[in-house]
Structure 1
Amino acid sequence: MENPATPEIHLVEQDGEVTLSIGGEQAMQAWERDLMWASADLLCEYGHDFYEVGLGLGLSALRIAGNPATRSHTVLELFDEVEDLFREQHPELPDNLAIERGDFFTRVFELPSESIDGMFFDPALEMDVWTDKELWAKTMPEVVRILRPGGVFIPFFSTKPELRWQYLPHFRRIRVERHPYTAYDTTTYTHGTTGDAYIQCFLKD
């Protein structure tokens, strides 16, 4: 799943809005902070060692690492430029936070079984990846494998009240929290710019 070429990556700060742009698309925006923090806090209820896919603006990474329960937190990021932008904003990082480079769809097969208590999943992926049923059917059993019993998988929030089909067949228990949100007027990746967002927490038995 490696990208053949690195897309253009920029941190755009304009009219009070902060956007991480990858390949000309809105990958993440600063208005997401409260939802990222709520997702991070939920993750940290389930253990001490965590893994995150996709660094973005680092809102959830810093929140997870800063939780008193967290012993270790590793973030996997595909693009050097995303980490460079993050480190420019945050030159001093918590000792329990590590950032690795790599493609999730390769790395997930390399991670040790039952090695983490929770995974937060928020990568920037193309639509053809999100809709690849064969890929998800192959990948999600590996996610379950690396979770410890009682561990959780939390993907980024949804602004539609629908359980995500990519993950649903692989977990028996799902915890859902509803949170209000207000996006920027210029936000294009949500279903409306205000409403309810849903944080889905998939639990391993």
Structure 2
Amino acid sequence: MENEPAPDIELIENDGEVTLSIGGEQAMQAWERDLMWTSADILCRHGRDFYEVGLGLGLSALRIAANPATRSHTVLELFGEVEDLFRARHPDLPGTLSIERGDFFQRVFELPSESIDGMFFDPALDMDVWKDEDLWRRTMPEVVRVLRPGGVFIPFFSTRPDLRWQYLPHFRRIHVERHPYTAYDTTEYTYGTSGDAYIQCFYKD
């Protein structure tokens, strides 16, 4: 995936709405802030060294990096244009935050075992990647390997109360929190533009 041509990436600001568009699709919008912050706060309850996959608008990255408990937070982003847009809006970053470039499905095999307390997972992926059972079967054991005992894996929120099959077989204990949300009227990637969102936290025993 890292060698494929980069899609068109732009930050669209219109009528008070902020959208990160990747390949013509809505990758992330600013209305997600409270849900991203809540996810970040849950992550930070479980240690001090964290890893994030997918920078997006940087809402969770900045929240995690600024948490008093955080010693280090590394964000892996596939697209340089996304990082450039983020740095243009946030030129002064916390010292705890570092941003790396790379493809997670390759990089995860290089990460040291039991090196982080928590991983926040919110990359922009094509649907064929989400449906690739072999890919997830190879990848998720590596995620578990990288987590310290008691560490957590938190994927981006869902607007359906379903545990994601990609992660479920690899964890015995899962915590789910329900939070209300209101998206933009133009939002295309949620099940409805208001309702309940579900934050799932998977624990490594």
Say yes or no: does 1:133 pair with 2:130.
no
- Stretches of structure 1 that go unaligned for 5 or more consecutive residues are none
In structure 2, C-alpha distance between the alignment counterparts of 1:176 and 1:75, rounded to whole Å: 24
- For residues 122 and 43 of structure 2, what CA distance do their matches in structure 1 show? 13
Correspondence for 1:154: 154
Aligned to 1:178: 178
Matches within 5 A, 1:102-113: 102-113=102-113
- Per the alignment, residue 18 of structure 2 pairs with 18
**Aligned alpha-carbon RMSD (Å):** 0.5
2:152 partner amino acid: V
Does residue 72 (structure 1) correspond to residue 47 (structure 2)? The answer is no
- Offset at residue 2 of structure 1 (A): 2.0
Counting only pairs closer than 5 Å after superposition, residues 73-112 of structure 1 correspond to structure 2 as 73-112=73-112
2:144 aligns with 144
Distance 1:192 1:37 in 2: 21
Aligned length: 205
What is the CA distance between 1:3 and its match in structure 2?
Answer: 4.7
Counterpart of 1:187? 187
What TM-score does the superposition give when structure 1 sets the normalisation length?
0.99
Between the aligned partners of 2:3 and 2:183, the Cα distance in structure 1 is 29
Query: Does 1:203 find its partner at 2:200?
Result: no
Partner Cα separation in structure 2 for residue 201 and residue 3 of structure 1:
31
Identity of aligned residues (%): 83
The one-letter code sitting in structure 1 at the alignment partner of 2:185 is D
Instruction: Report the Cα distance in structure 2 between the residues aligned to 1:95 and 1:16, rounded to whole angstroms.
Output: 30
1:33 pairs with 2:33: yes
Q: List runs of 5+ in structure 2 lacking aligned partners.
A: none
Residues in 2 aligned to 1:133 and 1:117: alpha-carbon distance in whole angstroms: 26
- Specify the alignment match of 1:51 in structure 2: 51
Residue 4 of structure 1: how far off its partner (Å)? 1.2
TM-score (norm 2): 0.99
Between the aligned partners of 1:186 and 1:131, the Cα distance in structure 2 is 26
- The one-letter code sitting in structure 2 at the alignment partner of 1:151 is G
